[in-house]
Amino acid sequence: MALILYTLTLEKIHDIALLKLMGAKNSMILGLVLQESFFLGAIAYGIAYFLGDLVFPFFPRRVIVTNDMLIWLALAVVALCIAGSSLGIWKAIRVEPNEVLA
């Protein structure tokens, strides 16, 4: 996850430098990276939920997923998204605006 987000951030490094050149605050840049991370996290959560629904009936023992477990899993995904995006955020915050001119 961290590697994917880091690569996605690297791909947009020029655009991030441009936003900084235009005066964007670090919080805005941070928000953009986190948004992407949460978006990916939500997709992964949805796929996992439906995939689970499809394959659990074929498991040798019954799998019970309670609402509490789903909530805890969602919170875990949020935490993983934040942790996973930290490398991308670190890179994005360090980008100098003059990289646009390069």
Partner 1 sequence: MTDPANNTPAIEMQGVTKVYGSGNTRVIAIKDIDLTIGKGEVVALLGPSGSGKSTLLSAIGLINPPTAGRIMINGTPVMDGPNEMVNIRRYRREHIGFIFQKSNLIPFLTAIENVLVALAIAGTTGRPAKKRATHLLESLGISDRANNLPSALSGGQQQRVAIARALANNPSLLLADEPTAALDGKLGRQVMELFRDLGHTSGAGVLVVTHDQRALDVFDRTIHLEDGVLTNQHEASTAH
The DSSP symbol for 17 reads H
Contact segment (CB under 8 A) with partner 1 among 23-31, 47-55, 70-78, 86-94 equals 23-31
Instruction: Name which of 28 and 55 has its Cβ closer to partner 1.
Output: 28
> Shortest gap between Cβ of 94 and partner 1 (angstroms)?
15
CB of 37 to partner 1, least distance (A): 17
x-marked contacts with partner 1 along 24-63 as a string, rule CB under 8 A:
xx--x-----------------------------------
Q: Quote the CA–CA distance of 40 and 17 in Å, as a whole number.
A: 23
Backbone angles phi, psi at 87, to 5 degrees: -65, -45
Select from 37-45, 50-58, 65-73, 93-101 the region that touches partner 1 (CB under 8 A): 93-101
**Do residues 15 and 92 lie in contact, with contact meaning Cβ atoms separated by under 8 Å?**
no
Closest Cα partner for 35 from 96, 82, 91?
82
Torsion sign (Cα): 39, 42, 44, 46: negative
Q: Which residues bind partner 1 (CB under 8 A)?
A: 14-15, 18-25, 28, 96-98, 100-101
